[in-house]
Amino acid sequence: MEIVVSGIRPTGNLHLGNYFGAVKGFLQMQNEYNCFFFIADWHSLTTHPHPDNIRNSVKTILAEYLACGVDPEKATIYLQSDVREIPELYLYLNMNAGIGELMRTTSFKDKARQQLHIDRVNTTEGDVEKEIFNENNKHSVSAGLLTYPTLMAADIIIHKAVKVPVGKDQEQNMEMARRFARRFNSTYGVECFPEPASFYYSSKAIKVPGLDGSGKMGKSEGNAIYLIDDEKTIKKKVMKAVTDAGPTQPNSVKPEPIANLFTMMEIVSTKDTFDFFNEKYNNCEIRYGDLKKQLAEDINKFCAPIRERILDIRSDEDYLAKVARIGAEKASESAAKTLREVREIIGFRG
């Protein structure tokens, strides 16, 4: 079975966009591949979280994935920080990673800008570089941020994964992972690591729109409906959705805010419900208040059982600990096997 690895940054709760864009793909993949899904808690250190914050967000994200149906009997679900072989491989990969290539990655430059408090608009890339070396800037950029792509490469190739489900924003990190895998092979004249490919699962991933007029649903967009949101919260968010004065011509093309409401309805409502409101729209008889009420109800119908499972699982510390322990054992076994081979290749005791 082909090996799949994917890392999840423990940043906040899952929303509908995450569910339909990513989690649903995981549910499918766990039946078809040998999947390793992990919480990237080492990566989260680039933003220096408080220890309590780490403990909490890791448990929350674990509970939410489990509540969605990611199954510890099918996939290996673990915390990155439980697999100590990863940082050893990271060290080896860093010995052959160039600081130049790492500094040129877009996400590094973006995040370095933030860490140095450099204005995004009025500065060039050269300014970022100059500030990194400026001893008088009281802010600095961590080596951990620079080597984020090396750690990500280690996460992936430690299990010799060939498929990595990631968002489009991870393309450059994936390119680096392939490069570091190839470089290890060519440095030592071995075929140790296969090249991991990004895997979009595009036919199944659905882009969930935001309900605030345009664009997609996202945490940073501030327009997310979370799986944990209760009925009242969902209703409030949906009733606030942007609409317009309504169509004046039959069968008008829907402007984006309205199209987004219908797209959402297509995702969570029945076909009958969708067709009913679509017809009303086409007849210019649509009442957006009714549509939103129905949509809020259907979103709640979708979220309610997941929400209940999240609350149950999140409060069952023993279960969460057990899942993490079993995952850690399986992931460590796979990682240790690769690392023994790597150590021998490099010239250490295996």
Active-site residues, by number, are: 111, 216, 219
Distance of alpha carbon 156 from alpha carbon 219, whole angstroms: 26
Distance of alpha carbon 22 from alpha carbon 169, whole angstroms: 13
185 three-class SS: helix
Q: For ligand TRP, which residue has the nearest CB?
A: 7
Distance of alpha carbon 150 from alpha carbon 156, whole angstroms: 10
State the DSSP H helix or E strand holding residue 129, giving kind and residue range, or none if neither: helix 125-132
Distances (CA, A) of 180 to 32, 157, 197, 325: 27, 9, 13, 30
Q: Which is nearer to ligand TRP, 195 or 230 (CB)?
A: 195
Backbone angles phi, psi at 78, to 5 degrees: -150, 170
The CB-of-87 to ligand TRP minimum distance in angstroms stands at 13
Q: Are 300 and 250 in contact (CB under 8 A)?
A: no
* Interaction of residue 173 with ligand TRP, rule CB under 6 A: yes
The CB-of-330 to ligand TRP minimum distance in angstroms stands at 17
8 three-class SS: strand
Q: Which is nearer to ligand TRP, 132 or 152 (CB)?
A: 152
* Interaction of residue 113 with ligand TRP, rule CB under 6 A: no
* Interaction of residue 176 with ligand TRP, rule CB under 6 A: no
Q: Binder to ligand TRP among 18, 147, 170, 260 (CB under 6 A)?
A: 170
* Interaction of residue 130 with ligand TRP, rule CB under 6 A: no
Q: Which is nearer to ligand TRP, 40 or 323 (CB)?
A: 40
Distance of alpha carbon 287 from alpha carbon 284, whole angstroms: 9
* Interaction of residue 267 with ligand TRP, rule CB under 6 A: no
Provide the CB-side half-sphere exposure for 293 (13 A, CA).
5
Q: Which is nearer to ligand TRP, 5 or 323 (CB)?
A: 5
Q: Binder to ligand TRP among 23, 35, 75, 164 (CB under 6 A)?
A: 164
Q: Binder to ligand TRP among 6, 18, 46, 334 (CB under 6 A)?
A: 6
* Interaction of residue 159 with ligand TRP, rule CB under 6 A: no
The CB-of-145 to ligand TRP minimum distance in angstroms stands at 12
- Report the side by side order of strands in the sheet with 3-8: 76-79, 34-39, 3-8, 163-165, 197-199
Q: What is the CA radius of gyration of the chain?
A: 23
* Interaction of residue 111 with ligand TRP, rule CB under 6 A: no
Distance of alpha carbon 33 from alpha carbon 4, whole angstroms: 7
* Interaction of residue 156 with ligand TRP, rule CB under 6 A: yes
Q: Which is nearer to ligand TRP, 45 or 239 (CB)?
A: 45
CA angle 96, 98, 102 (to 5 degrees): 125
* Interaction of residue 5 with ligand TRP, rule CB under 6 A: yes
> Judged by CB under 6 A, which stretch of 6-14, 65-73, 243-251, 339-347 contacts ligand TRP?
6-14
Q: Which is nearer to ligand TRP, 5 or 264 (CB)?
A: 5
Q: Which is nearer to ligand TRP, 165 or 209 (CB)?
A: 165
* Interaction of residue 162 with ligand TRP, rule CB under 6 A: no
76 three-class SS: strand
> Judged by CB under 6 A, which stretch of 64-72, 108-116, 162-170, 280-288 contacts ligand TRP?
162-170
Parallel, antiparallel or unpaired: strands 197-199 and 34-39: unpaired
Residues 19 to 78 in contact with ligand TRP, rule: CB under 6 A:
40, 43
246 three-class SS: coil
Q: Binder to ligand TRP among 58, 166, 267, 331 (CB under 6 A)?
A: 166
Q: Which residues lie below 8 Å from residue 206, measured CB to CB, with a gap of 6+?
A: 20, 21, 24, 267
Chain residues binding ligand TRP by CB under 6 A are: 5-7, 9, 40, 43, 152, 155-156, 164, 166, 170, 173
